Structure 1
Amino acid sequence: MKHVPIFVMMTALGATTMAAAQEAGEAKGTTGAVSTLEEIVVTAQRREENLQVVPLAVTALSAETLANFRVTGMHDLSGLSPNLHIGHQGLQSTPTISLRGITSGTSQNTVDPKVGLYLDGVYIGRSVGAIFDLADIERVEVLRGPQGTLFGRNATGGAISLVTAAPAGEFGFRQDISLGNNAARRARTVIDFPALGSLAMKFSYLHDEDDGTARNLIAGNRIDLRARDPRLGQLRYAKRLGSKDVDAYQFAARFDAADSLVFDYRFDYTDSETTSNPMQILGVVGDTAALVQGIFAFQPYFGGQTNQSLKRLDRVANASSVESLTIQGHNLTVSWDAAPGLNLKSITAYREMEQDPTIQDLAASGGLRFTVQQLGALLSGDPASIAAIPTMPVGPNDSFFTLLTARETSQRQFTQELQLTLTRDAFDLVAGAFYFDEHSPAISALGIFQPVANGVVIPTPLDGVFGSGVNESIADNRSLAVYSQGTWHVNERFDVTLGARHTRDKRETDLIQAGAAGAGGLLQPGVYKKDFSNTSYAFNLAYHLSEATMAYARIASGYVSGGQLDAIPYGPEKLINYEVGLKSQLFENRLRLNAAAFYMDYKDLQIQSFQNGVLRFDNAGRAKIHGLEIEVDAVPFDGLSVGGSFGYQKVEYKKFVTAGVDIADIAQQQYTPKYDARLYGQYDFAPLASGSNAYLRLDLVGQSKAALGILQSGVREVDRVAFEKAHTLVDLRLGLKQVPAGGFRLDTSLWAHNLLDEDDVLVFSPTAINRAGSYLPGRTYGIDFTARW
């Protein structure tokens, strides 16, 4: 990346712009203590409404709220909404999202997510690359529960909607700079340009990097995968783990062609180089445990690294390369107010994602030194052969993987949505049509008990025994839907809403190569086609107890499309959600209290698992999920803001058959704590004579323990850490806002995240051979600066 020249250029541009701006007018900004809660406008029902009149469970986070919580990426949203938890599968680009007990996230190009992600109304079709950096977010909305009517398929758990800021049409400038430990450096530049007639434009740039949390003991070593597949090439192991180096750009333009016709264009581009979090071995399991322990026992002879520890390590030997990822998107939204109360909208979007070949050490075994000859001697069971193992030569770049995974993938998608919104005194109506088309090729290599000779991965006669091989597939998917949702205002207090959406999916998987493990011995390479259809519905009753309080009841269904995981077909999932809720804003807008209770009936739930080195789906059959969510925000007196949230969720499998055995009674729901809570408090001190004011903020985000695997291994030492334990993360910030400096204003703050240095397993890799995991990053701290004009 050419981030240093870009960073210098943008900083210089910012300084020049500010200098010019100082001559144009006085600085803008507000001062003084907070006295009431801000009004929050959301688009959860595909039109702008006050949060408190929307009969859905929605958490809305404004730009100011995101800044207060120091949200710099999607991972930071975890815990900010009840029953929302966001992790990743080792690779930073691929999120694991759990919302209301429904877990979403896979690197497979043929498997759809279960929590929908939307950017400015555009659906993001793949989990890989779903965590991208945006330079100018205006609002994040978390919609809990199925959104099958207005947002469509693949949103059974809910939807996360990211809304970027539109151009203001007048000059504005903002420069953010953040420095922290682990050599963290973050800079953001946002420039609003003065309007050129009816055209307004805005440009944003973000650079974000840090050196990660652990040193890689085998950094710089090369691995040659060309014998598996030439396109995977040669890769070099990363120097640091958990690191990132990201450049992100946004451009927005708004053209008011007439009083009633508006064109909005948005472009985003992200160039990302990240490394997976450090992985370490927690223990060995299964029928091969004795074999693995034998390999471990010989490592001192050859200078190998086992990475085995039940405590967080800051130095590991991981065979993980830098993951290079580029993402870009175009969005043209045309909005026409055709008549009073009638709006027609078109949203046309194209997005693409490219992931270069990358290797990830999921099993944390990349530091093992062993050869295929030594493996043969160990497998022979002959005492003489085993005794001779230490004398066998091991080259300087010979290594041994219990599990090797490498992958390259890309995706291109086109979406078109047409929408009609009608607003009348007696009723509101939203209706539309949606089309989705994607093309996503992927190639992956899997090596189990894989020797590497002089840095070269060479297929061996043991591949068929252990299930090693290469999978290559191309997913071509199309979806067409029509929907409508209307609300009848029976009287001033009572509203009735009814909606439905019909979806038809055409899915095609071209299985070009099917390695022994990937094919599972089920089907041969070929083109496999599946068609699915579904009708989702929603029914709401809302009653306004007063101007400040509303109660509602809701029944809604959701649907996740079926498909083909390599050569393994899987069916669609269906869910019905029953929900009651209360929303209130009291004491002259000083207290906001929202609550919801839900019960969900899930049919044909598909669970992703890793068995005998093979990624596969199990049909859990049926599950029941129920829970409670409470959110509170308050301004008890001027200057003090307090609040928090509480989430409770319980997942019960009623049927979960795998390998012919029903394990419903012992299966664990992954990444789903039963309880979570968040508390925050911020005090804004009285303004100084200059107009600036200091503030102190404290945030606590906690959860109960959460299983990281579906089944326990039976090895007590391993199962003891196969949970994300109950913990509370403490964040602290001390700052000074609105400090006058010439023609602009400065903000500065000192901050600390995970102040108490919580140490917990966060990522868990339950391979068939050993259990590996990555720990929660330790304490981070730094200083932020913001200049505004």
Structure 2
Amino acid sequence: MQRLGLRHHCALGALAGALAFAPAAAQAQDPATDDQAPDLVDAADVDDGNVIIVTAQGRAQALADVPVAVSAVSGELLEKSGVADIRDLNQVAPSLLVSSTGNEANGSARIRGIGTVGDNPGLESSVAVFVDGVYRSRSGNALSELGPIDRVEILRGPQGTLGGRNSSAGLINIYTAPPEFEFSGYGAFTYGNYDAIKIEGGVNAPLGETVAARIDGVYFKRDGFYTDVTNNTDVNDRDRYLIRAQALFEPTEDISFRLVGDYSKKDEACCAATFVQPEFAPLARVDTSINPVTGRPNLDPFNRPNGGPALTSTSNPIIPILLGLGQDPRALSQSTFNRNIYPTAGRSYAGETEDYGISGELNWSFGDITLTSITGYREYSNNQASDTDYTTVDILYRAPGPDAGAREFKTFTQEFRLNGTAFDDRLDWLIGAYYANEKLETRDNLRFGTQYGTFANCRIALAINPALANPSATNCFGANIAAIDGTLGPPAFGAATPLIIAGINDLAQIRDLGGTGDVYNQTSENFAVFTHNIIHLTDTIDLTLGLRYTNETKDFGATFGNDNVFCPANRARLLFDANGNGAPDLFEPSVDTDGDGIPDLAPLAGLAGGLVALSCQGNSTAELNGVSVSDTRDEDEFTGTAILSWKPDPDWLVYGSYSRGYKAGGFNLDRSALSNPLFLDVTNLNTANLQFDEETVDAFEVGVKYSSRKFGFSLAAFRQEFSNFQLNTFNGSVFLVQNVNGCGSDLNGADRDASATTGSCAVDDVVPGVVAQGFEFETSLSPIRDLTMTMGITYSDTSYENDLIGNDTGAPLDPALRLLPGDNLSNAPEWVGTASLSWTPPIGDSGLSGLFFINARATDDFNTGSDLLFGKEQDAYVIVNGRIGITGPDRRWGVELWANNLFDEDYTQVAFNTPFIAPQQTYSAFLAEPRTYGVTVRAGF
């Protein structure tokens, strides 16, 4: 990936220029108020309301005293920033990036460039999300309205001791606004462009001296950002609501119990994509160096020379095929960021999401010992229809309904913690246990469209001779088949010609066939015991030691439904083994069927294999109909942390730490991973192909923090080494899940060639394959009561090592990932800066106050594709949000004008290989949101 260059300097320079007038980054936070602090620590410990309290170490501590990298963002700052779901946290935390792709349930959070890549729910989140102490099964499950928030804590780096569920990259703790023993209420109405309407409201009431309750609700509706020209509708709309009810019971000063129940629902169409054009991705670089293993240039055959035509021009041979099949030409010529889309007529992106649960948190003090118990049960379901090829041509789709790419989670979690002090307060100890039971069911009805057979045959025609392609014919050959069958001369493929033609005609019949209801079930049981202890060696030096043992068991089962009968027909026809040597005859170059002394079938391995692969794409075959598979895996892992910290005076903290993190292995919930269709044996399905191993990380960090009444900063330097890094990537045909490691020996470029057999490594020479290293700087300044300025900068070189291999047995890397060695990870910019300015001056003596708020996020270049193909690179960009308004006395009312993405910056979340469109010859992209703006009116009592 390109290193920091002119574009990066311009982007960061623009941010610096903004800071000269309005330093603003949403990483540091507004000071906590006097009203918030006593809920967490004794009020005597709060200096004029400026101490920020967090629970990052399982205890209430001042942020400046916590020797870990943590960002705490107040509810007030979140409100000013317009944060509605965790994706909006990007604007307030430079080390965090949250994005979503083909389904909002697939949202992924990354910290320091590390996150779960891809859309497979079988992979757990590298960045765990907790709401009120309760784990959300995947980070995408939190892509819904959050309602009123007390604060958000973002812990950076592996969390292998506390935090409930293990996470290898970090975690996000969201604390909703709790009930209070004071009667109050609020309401807000927002109207914005795209006909956005948002209504919020809530009431808090004491129900006696020991019980308080509150209820909050949010409703949000907005038109979509994409216009579906074909079907005269819009996509990527908003239609969602949230209801949350709470009760707080405090019978004594030593007992507090909080009960929370919530329900949210979304009925939205998501997620459309557009074709990538050169203004997003300049034409690919060309690597002409020679591979020392193969002796051939390292040129990716799908990269086009600089200055060449766009990948959607008719010089790309697949484009005339698409046009001949009815592709709307406007989709191929418009800008990447023109949000008109042209899917297949009658196809839909409609989906539905339900998320609800109940939790209870008990805090009970027995003298110097406190018991904390957090119990949670949640259910989450999502389904999303799609025109999965994103073209006007009907190639691949999911029909609306409960089985459309559906996932359902039922999760029970229980955490116990005991903490207290001993040895005259020299030891602050904590022990605990955690249990989670997660039942995951995914269902899919992915089917080939009504034009798939013709389109697939056109790819075969292009491979034989582009002049033979006739997309108006059912089999894409029509009369041109005579050039093959011998009518115009000798049969093109000798004695195998009738087999090839029959295979072509069978492939042409694959129309509206495929999945009729695949069902995957996975039950995960996680049990852990842990301890986290702070030893006060002296009055200024602390040693923190934490250890966790985790046992994870996953039981997997799947049953397949499929009606594609033409796959087994072509497998039987083209993979026959007449001589019984175990190899398909059409793959044996020594066969000479016509006796002319020339191995006339030598060229047919690729052609026969291509016909079978396209007939059985993704193992879509009636051979699997009704077939069930099952498997189980069990893991045991020790993780933990050691931190040495020193406070030379009350305002300073210096620390160094080591931590080890872990993310569970699991199963690839995708039938395409069972086997290459050429070798699929339904009588002996190997579920080992579905498994991937646990991911571990060793992390090292040193840092310094300074905090005073008006100014504070933190600086942390880190290095994180990942073994068995879990990567899920779409190669244009199937989703691959690959563990990535490095080899201590030089592989001489064998990890960069197109061979799946070269590039292995000795087991005792396997080393971490991914390293993230860099630094983070955050600062906040409050020179006067009504003015707060913050800034954060993150530099993270998050890269694959050279000499990559697959799993820790030393197996070669999948050839689809040959661009990875030595490059940055996807969606991992090296430089990110955030900044914010908040000014709330009083207006005369009227009790009125003004509001001026602005924040910005500047992001370096990065590649958005998990396979790192060059055409998926996103240039540096800057996003600015702003809000101005006026507030009445005692904040009883307010009027605000706001804008997000103020300068309407065009950028993408992810670019990917357009499914089936001749892999790696065209790209599509999921676009980020355009400028939104509106007015909000608030009232409260």
TM range (shorter): 0.7 to 0.9
Aligned match for 2:661, one of 558, 582, 585: 558
Q: 1:580 to 1:161 in 2, by over 3 A?
A: same
Q: Is the 8 A contact 1:731 1:755 kept in 2?
A: yes
For residues 701-727 of structure 1, the C-alpha deviation after alignment (integer angstroms, 9 at most, x for no partner) is: 1100110113354xxxxx44x122200
Corresponding residue for 2:734?
A: 614
2:123 aligned counterpart, secondary structure: coil
Q: How far apart, CA to CA, are the structure 1 residues paired with 2:397 and 2:875?
A: 27
| 2:382 aligned with 1:355 | yes
Aligned 1:337-416 pairs, distance under 5 A: 337-339=365-367, 341-356=368-383, 358-365=384-391, 367-368=392-393, 399-401=394-396, 406-416=404-414
Select which of 649, 652, 669 maps to 2:796.
649
Deviation at 1:463, TM superposition (A): 9.0
Give yes or no for contact 1:584–1:594 (8 Å, CA) kept in 2.
Answer: yes
In the TM superposition, residue 68 of structure 1 has moved relative to its aligned partner by 1.9
The structure-2 alpha-carbon separation of the partners of 1:258 and 1:642, relative to structure 1 and needing over 3 Å to count, comes to: closer
Q: Is the 8 A contact 1:88 1:96 kept in 2?
A: yes
**Does residue 133 of structure 1 match 2:145?**
yes
Deviation at 1:785, TM superposition (A): 1.4
Alignment of 1:713-732 (within 5 A): 713=869, 719-720=870-871, 722-732=872-882
TM-score by length of 2: 0.69
Residues 36 and 273 of structure 1: CA distance in aligned 2, closer, same or farther (over 3 Å): farther
The aligned residue for residue 270 of structure 2 is 276
Is the 8 Å Cα contact of residues 386 and 398 (structure 2) preserved in structure 1?
A: no
Q: Equivalent residue for 2:199? A: 187
Contact 2:200 2:218 in 1 (8 A): yes
Instruction: Map Cα deviations across residues 234-269 of structure 1 (whole Å, 9 max, x no partner).
Output: xxxxx2112111110111101123332222100111
Q: Equivalent residue for 1:737?
A: 887
Report if aligned partners of 1:192, 1:203 keep a CA contact under 8 Å in 2.
yes
Partner in structure 1 of residue 353 of structure 2: 325
CA apart distance, 1:445:
3.4
Pairing partner for 1:526 from 607, 610, 629: 629
More deviation in 568-577 or 467-476?
A: 467-476
Tell me the equivalent position of 1:760: 907
- Quote the residue 1:778 is aligned against: 930
Q: Give 2:127's aligned amino acid.
A: V
Aligned partner of 1:226 in structure 2 is none
The 8 Å contact of residues 672 and 707 in structure 1, kept in 2 or not, is answered as yes
The one of 476, 488, 505 equivalent to 2:535 is 488
Query: How many angstroms apart in 1 are the aligned matches of 2:255 and 2:839?
Result: 44
Q: Is the 8 A contact 1:94 1:130 kept in 2?
A: no
Q: Distance in 1 between matches of 2:540 and 2:506?
A: 73
Match of 1:202 in 2: 214
- Give 1:376's aligned residue: none
Aligned to 2:9: none
> In the TM superposition, what are the counterparts of 1:95-174 in structure 2 within 5 Å?
95-104=107-116, 106-174=118-186
Counterpart-to-counterpart distance in 2, 1:529 and 1:53: 43
Of the candidates 629, 638, 650, which is equivalent to residue 776 of structure 2? 629
Q: Secondary structure at the match of 1:85?
A: strand
Deviations 1:523-543 (A, max 9, x none): 974111000110001000110
Cα distance in structure 1, aligned partners of 2:254 and 2:853: 43
Distance 1:345 1:462 in 2: 63
Which secondary structure does the structure 2 equivalent of 1:784 belong to? strand
Which one is further off, 745-754 or 526-535? 745-754
Provide the rounded CA distance (Å) in 1 between the counterparts of 2:792 and 2:49. 16
Q: Deviations over 1:276-322 (max 9, x none)?
A: 2431122699699966313333256x867645544312321244422
Q: 1:701 to 1:776 in 2, by over 3 A?
A: same
Task: Determine if the alignment matches structure 1 residue 311 to structure 2 residue 309.
Answer: no
Alignment of 1:668-707 (within 5 A): 668-707=824-863
- Does 2:78 match 1:66? yes
C-alpha deviation, 1:682, in angstroms = 2.5
2:451 aligned counterpart, secondary structure: strand
Q: Give 1:638 shift.
A: 4.2
Corresponding letter in the other structure for 1:540:
I
Q: Displacement of 1:46 after TM fit?
A: 1.2
More helix by share: 2
Q: Provide the alpha-carbon RMSD of the alignment.
A: 3.1
Question: Which residue pairs with 1:391 in the alignment?
Answer: none
Aligned positions, number:
690
- Equivalent position to 2:694, from 559, 572, 576: 572
| 1:642-682 alpha-carbon deviations (Å, 9 max, x no partner) | 12100111122122443368654365411111110012222
Match of 2:251 among 257, 260, 273: 257
- Which entry has the higher C-alpha Rg, 1 or 2? 2
Alpha-carbon separation, structure 2, partners of 1:463 and 1:147 = 52
Distance of 1:579 and 1:464 partners within structure 2: 56
Give the letter aligned to residue 473 of structure 1.
Y
Q: Which amino acid aligns with 1:131?
A: L
Distance 2:320 2:628 in 1: 37
Aligned counterparts of 2:555 and 2:418: Cα–Cα separation in 1: 31
Please report how far the alpha carbon of residue 106 of structure 1 lies from its aligned counterpart in structure 2 after TM superposition.
4.6
Given that 2:85 and 2:142 are in contact with CA atoms closer than 8 Å, whether structure 1 keeps it comes out as no
Does structure 2 retain, via aligned residues, the 8 Å contact 1:687–1:693? yes
Amino acid aligned to 1:759: D
What is the aligned counterpart of 1:423 among 395, 418, 421? Answer: 421
Amino acid at match of 1:781: Y
Gaps of 5+ in 1: 1-27, 221-238, 369-398, 454-458, 714-718
Contact 1:549–1:583 under 8 Å retained in 2: yes
> Unpaired runs of 5+ in structure 2?
1-33, 37-46, 279-300, 304-310, 454-504, 563-615, 675-689, 742-768, 807-812
Could you tell which deviates more after superposition, 328-337 or 402-411? 402-411
Contact 2:189 2:936 survives alignment (8 Å): yes
- AA aligned to 1:95 is G
**Displacement after TM superposition at 1:36 (Å):** 8.1
Identity within the alignment, %: 23
Q: What is the deviation of 1:452?
A: 7.7
Which residue of 1 is the match for residue 289 of structure 2?
Answer: none
| Structure 2 partner of 1:539 | 642
Asked if the contact 2:101–2:926 (Cα under 8 Å) also holds between the matched residues in 1, the reply is no
Map of 2:683 onto structure 1: none
Does residue 472 of the first structure (1) align with residue 519 of the second (2)?
yes
Contact (CA 8 Å) 1:156, 1:560: kept in 2 or not?
Answer: yes
CA distance in 2, matches of 1:121, 1:462: 54
Higher strand share: 1
SS in 2 for 1:52: helix
Q: Output the amino acid matched with 2:227.
A: R
**Do the aligned partners of residues 299 and 467 (structure 1) sit closer, same or farther apart at CA in structure 2, a change above 3 Å counting?**
closer
1:400 deviation in Å? Answer: 3.8
User: What residue identity is the alignment partner of 1:475?
Assistant: Q
Per-residue deviation, 1:460 = 7.7
Q: TM-score, normalised by structure 1?
A: 0.82
Conserved 8 A contact 2:70-2:156: yes
Q: Cα 1:403–1:626, aligned 2, differ >3 Å: closer, same or farther?
A: farther
1:553 and 1:731 mapped to 2: Cα distance? 36
Residue 297 (structure 1) aligns with: 323
1:506 and 2:534 are equivalent in the alignment: no
Is the partner of 1:64 in helix, strand or coil? helix
Measured in 2, the distance between the counterparts of 1:40 and 1:111 equals 34
Contact 1:29 1:738 in 2 (8 A): no
